Structure 1
Amino acid sequence: MTMRSEDLVSSTVPAPAGSGAFGNAGWTPRLVLSVISILCLVEAVAFAYVGTTTALPKIIEHFHTTQAGWLLTAYALVGAASAPLFGKLADLHGKRRMMLIAIGLAAAGDILAAVAPAFWMMVLGQVLHGCVSACLYLGYSLMRDTYPRRIVPFGASVSMTGAGILSVGAPFLIGVLIDNFGFRSVYVFDLAWLVVMAVIVMATTPETSLRRRARLDIAGSVLLAGGLTLVLLGISMGDEWGWSSAGVLGSLVGGLVVLAVYVVLALRIREPVLDLRVLVRRTILFGVLAGGVAYGLNPMNQTLLALLSMTPQQLGQTYGLGFSATKYALITGPMSLGSVLAGLAVGLLVRRTGARLMMYAGLLLFVAGALFLMTQHDTYGKVLTGAVILGVGTGFSLAAMPNLIIAGAPAEQQGSMSSAGELSAGLIGAITPIVAFAIMTPSAISPVPGVLIYSDSGITTSLLVSACIAAATLVAEVLFLRPRAETPLEAGELAPAPERATPA
């Protein structure tokens, strides 16, 4: 079988001058520490969100607020809306530099949350902390520029799923911190984690020498960030404000108009903050859309898993395990472990199988896991099985995404193209939980005031929709985003000669 050059990530990774810091000698103690520190920063992105979600009841009680949802909304909005700007600045001024700036802003957010005397300061802390999401895509983009060529696929793959240090144990750790030291301890721990990892990154990981000689598109940055913020705000607040309210309609329509203006501008200037002409290349678009769906389906699937696991069976009638929040970690822990192991598998196999095949496998597992849970969710073993299938699908999909983007994007636009994945994930992730609740709410019942129990049919229909989204993405990718035979490598002019295989 002829292997397409997009699948051989190593063959599309030119060795820039900055890679001399590691050379091509293979694994060294310094390189191992570099990989671990970047993986741990990826873990911190998930830890921050899970920690705030778990701490919400305590935060509500402490500040006597009904607006706690803004903590999650602010974090997600900033993470998605700032992605193109961080990506572009990384191409202009250096990926490690922008990673460290993002970490610094997130650390400032942790400090605010840890000492906040008022709720609005907690929200401001989350606004700053949302910048840590930049580590997701800048991490593997930095690896691409500085790591030995044959190690790039492995490093990029595991950088998206983490090492499991926090993702598997996070529910248990967060529970211990909150129960014994209060909700502020979550942010103190996160602050310490970020500082330690930032120091290790500075000590072990060189800055990329690649720079894009261009001016920052200020107008485009404002338009893109503003339009995305308005759209995401309207989607996030639809249930609370009402979908027909002036606030939601104004945000959605206003955001779409602003984004339309950005599209017109981006197609007319030479150096837009997010180059749409490069983004629509098939390999990049495939990775961005499929990876975004994988990210975006996670909130929906995890919401449904929580309902299946934590609803008492006497209330759910035909479903419900009655788990506590702590016991629920017996499902989320193995699910996260499955994702981590799948990411490792992709890193080890991608040079042989190709990233595209791994993405197909991930999407198929999303379909299989959701369909399994539709009919098999009345025991712990069944729910756990479905959760692990979804976790492995997540690992395959997310680990394949950076390899596809690395293969398709020009070297000097790796940062901005990588940020497109975060942008896609933010948009899809904001929509999918709303879709689930829109499906479930009409058939829900309220046995006592303040308690809403969703029907089995509502949950199973939502799982079917989740499966259909993954399946539709897979079909669309196969039919419309396969590489053209006449252009086997979309960034071919940037590819060096492939490395010679070492004789067995």
Structure 2
Amino acid sequence: MQEMSSRATTEEPSTGLQTGWNGRVIGYVAILMLVNVMVDTVVTAPSFIIAQLKDAFQTTHFAWLDMSAMLAGAMWSPLLGKAADIHGKRRILVFTLLVAALGGIVCLIAPNLAVFVLGRALQGAAVASLFLTVALIRDVCASRFAMVVTGVVTSGSAAFGIVTPFVLQIATAAFGWRFVFVVAAGFAAVGALCVRLAIPNSAVRTPGRLDVAGALVLGGGLAGVLMYISLGQDLGWLGILPLAVLAAGVVALLVWFLVLSRAPEPVIDIRAITPTLGLGFLVVTMGTGAYRSMLSLFGLLVDVAPEDGLGYGIAGPAALGLMFGVPSFGITLGGILAGAVATRVGPAWPLAAGLVTGTTAALVMFVAGSGNLAIAAVCSFMLSLTAGSMVTSGFNLASLLTSPEKQGTISSVVMVMIAIGSVMMSFIGTAILNSTDMVVGGETVNSSLGVHTYIAVGGCAFVLAAIPMTLLIRRMRRSGVTGGPAVRG
């Protein structure tokens, strides 16, 4: 099968690569998990304080407050991925952590929404840290063992999320919403120090140059298209400014695709993305986007009590902890299981299992989740299983189909797909809620129609993702390359 890399079809030399658990590997994993705890804090923690942020900055655009870091991450990732392959993954990881720390400080002192979004954009560098930890794993672990370690590193950090909401609920009540960004900046700084002192430098390098212009054009194009979705909600879908932003984004993407992507060393070599890999990217984009949008919605549901009579809402004692804390165990469990299963049957099947779990959770939430905290918590747990499984499987699939010298670049593409899906679905959800809100007692609130439509759209994204998922499994079967026992480290 021509489209499969030699990494996926030949036995990998074991010299210098870790093939099992030992003290050194456990130390690496602990540090890389600390890095991903910081990533989780940057990406997820604002969901806990959406209501406070909306009040602090007097805005209805909660998607910008929550997802601006993911949007910036989509822009950062291609450049940082290519830089990691050229200059070394450890060096670039330390750089991203320091930039993320700076972003946390900017958010902490932000006097207005514009400065806050700038800080979130800097924090978006943390999003790149996730795929760099995966790429580093591939440098130190043999391929089969690396699948298991990837599951632990990408999702094991979520175990800290079991207690994080409870702690943040108490801390933000005492110190305000800014406490979240103190924690994020602190984690980033400590993570940078630990990585620099303890993680070995990358042994695999790819000679070349950075296509900075291509990265800026690609990132700007993505930002323009996604900004249109947000601006169109208030300024009108046919307004001059939104259409100008959309046009600029589309033109930038076309210029990158038609001209810059064909350069000798593009920031992302789309010619190297095989049909099989492309199908995997599509599944990850749709699945993780649906999960992230639901997580943002939960942040609003826990702020409304069932007795308010709005037809939705699950506020109550420990609601925040149940919706964001206990399900963190699901992310850890989903990721670790996905990595372990992938060593036997390949990453495509745990990816499919995550999709089925997410679809089921969205259906149950739509039918029976309104006003029922217990059912909503179960659905949140199932969606967390989906998140852990899909993220881990997405990285494992990309690594399986990619040569060692391109691990940083291709892992960055996975992160771009995750970011695009997350941002797109969250902005669509915001548009749905804003277009269906109502006034109760002189206050504008979300309607039951809007909330249920939001859930239905997320469920449809899961269902539609089943189409490329089916095609992906068929292609993997025909190729005879699964990533299971045939791939030995």
TM-score, normalising length: structure 1: 0.86
**Which residue pairs with 1:218 in the alignment?**
212
Q: Hey, what's the Cα distance between the residues in 1 that align with 2:80 and 2:168?
A: 29
The answer to whether structure 1 residue 247 and structure 2 residue 254 are counterparts is: no
The answer to whether structure 1 residue 161 and structure 2 residue 155 are counterparts is: yes
Cα displacement (A) at 1:365: 0.8
Task: Verify the 8 A CA contact 1:141 1:415 in the aligned structure 2.
Answer: yes
Q: Hey, what's the Cα distance between the residues in 2 that align with 1:30 and 1:298?
A: 34
Task: Verify the 8 A CA contact 2:5 2:402 in the aligned structure 1.
Answer: no
Work out which of the residue numbers 350, 360, 371 in structure 2 matches 1:368.
360
Task: Verify the 8 A CA contact 1:443 1:458 in the aligned structure 2.
Answer: yes
Task: Verify the 8 A CA contact 1:158 1:344 in the aligned structure 2.
Answer: yes
The answer to whether structure 1 residue 460 and structure 2 residue 452 are counterparts is: yes
Cα displacement (A) at 1:403: 0.7
Distance 1:96 1:287, change over 3 A: farther
Cα displacement (A) at 1:430: 2.0
SS of 2:233's equivalent? helix
The answer to whether structure 1 residue 205 and structure 2 residue 195 are counterparts is: no
SS of 1:446's equivalent? strand
Task: Verify the 8 A CA contact 1:374 1:460 in the aligned structure 2.
Answer: yes
Distance 1:439 1:56, change over 3 A: closer
Cα displacement (A) at 1:87: 0.8
**Which residue pairs with 1:476 in the alignment?**
468
Q: Deviations over 1:27-84 (max 9, x none)?
A: 222211211211221221121233344456556666x655985554542332111111
Cα displacement (A) at 1:442: 5.1
Q: Deviations over 1:330-357 (max 9, x none)?
A: 1222222112111111222221121100
SS of 1:460's equivalent? helix
Q: Hey, what's the Cα distance between the residues in 1 that align with 2:47 and 2:299?
A: 13
Q: Residues 59-458 of structure 1 correspond to what in structure 2 (within 5 A)?
A: 66=59, 71-72=65-66, 74-115=68-109, 121-279=115-273, 281-323=274-316, 327-377=319-369, 378-440=371-433, 443-455=436-448, 457-458=449-450
**Runs of 5+ unmatched residues, structure 1:** none
Task: Verify the 8 A CA contact 1:34 1:200 in the aligned structure 2.
Answer: no
Task: Verify the 8 A CA contact 1:84 1:419 in the aligned structure 2.
Answer: yes
Task: Verify the 8 A CA contact 1:294 1:363 in the aligned structure 2.
Answer: yes
* AA aligned opposite 1:40: L
Q: Hey, what's the Cα distance between the residues in 2 that align with 1:106 and 1:304?
A: 25
* AA aligned opposite 1:476: P
Cα displacement (A) at 1:145: 1.4
* AA aligned opposite 2:421: I
Task: Verify the 8 A CA contact 1:234 1:252 in the aligned structure 2.
Answer: yes
SS of 2:210's equivalent? coil
* AA aligned opposite 1:360: A
Task: Verify the 8 A CA contact 1:316 1:453 in the aligned structure 2.
Answer: no
Q: Hey, what's the Cα distance between the residues in 2 that align with 1:305 and 1:232?
A: 22
SS of 2:265's equivalent? coil
Identical counterparts, % of pairs: 27
Q: Deviations over 1:431-475 (max 9, x none)?
A: 2133334445555432222232412x4433432332221121112
Cα displacement (A) at 1:239: 2.1
Cα displacement (A) at 1:257: 1.2
Task: Verify the 8 A CA contact 2:12 2:488 in the aligned structure 1.
Answer: no
* AA aligned opposite 2:294: N
Distance 1:144 1:257, change over 3 A: same
Q: Hey, what's the Cα distance between the residues in 1 that align with 2:48 and 2:372?
A: 24
Task: Verify the 8 A CA contact 1:10 1:152 in the aligned structure 2.
Answer: no
**Runs of 5+ unmatched residues, structure 2:** none
Task: Verify the 8 A CA contact 2:81 2:411 in the aligned structure 1.
Answer: yes
Q: Hey, what's the Cα distance between the residues in 2 that align with 1:482 and 1:202?
A: 43
* AA aligned opposite 1:447: V
* AA aligned opposite 2:27: L
Counting matched residue pairs gives 485
Q: Hey, what's the Cα distance between the residues in 2 that align with 1:8 and 1:403?
A: 15
Task: Verify the 8 A CA contact 2:74 2:415 in the aligned structure 1.
Answer: yes
TM-score, normalising length: structure 2: 0.88
Distance 1:6 1:382, change over 3 A: farther
Distance 1:25 1:386, change over 3 A: closer
